[in-house]
């Protein structure tokens, strides 16, 4: 995991606003979650009991890396976004593979 992703996860864990380079976390106590942005595009919402994933309109390697860091720091073991035959997929913690879609929610 990249240093910027470790710092991003620390901000999510501590429920604090944070910004570095092209990535920022906006902690919203009223909504009870943190919003994660990459290049001003929302890529995740992380709450106490859920994670919502977005591609922000860009299925780039950087977006995928940030999402995987969020899943590693806040999701269940084994959850991972990956690409197969030019399509994004999500491996669930039980090993099931499902198609990725922007706005998908994991509980």
CA 9 to chain centre: 9
Q: In 59-101, at which residue ranges do the beta strands (DSSP E only) sit?
A: 80-84, 87-91, 97-99
**3-class DSSP assignment, residue 65:** helix
Provide the pLDDT for residue 60. 96
Range of the domain at 57: 3-106
Query: What are 51-70's pLDDT values in tens digits?
Result: 999 998 899 999 999 999 99
Provide the pLDDT for residue 40. 96
What does the pLDDT profile of the chain (107 residues) look like in tens digits? 899 999 999 999 999 999 999 999 999 988 889 999 999 999 999 999 999 999 988 999 999 999 999 999 999 999 999 999 999 999 999 999 999 999 999 98
| Averaged pLDDT of the chain | 96
pTM beyond cutoff 0.75: yes
Domains: count for the chain: 1
């Amino acid at each position: 995991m990249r240093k910027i992703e470790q710092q991003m996860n620390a901000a999510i864990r501590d429920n604090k606003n944070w910004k570095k380079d092209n990535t920022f976390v906006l902690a919203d106590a009223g909504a009870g979650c943190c919003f994660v942005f990459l290049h001003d595009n929302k890529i995740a919402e992380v709450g106490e009991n859920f994670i919502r994933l977005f591609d922000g309109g860009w299925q780039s390697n950087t977006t995928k890396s940030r999402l995987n860091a969020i899943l590693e720091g806040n999701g269940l073991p084994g959850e991972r976004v990956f690409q197969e035959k030019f399509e994004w997929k999500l491996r669930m913690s039980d090993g099931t593979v499902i198609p990725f879609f922007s706005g998908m929610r994991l509980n």
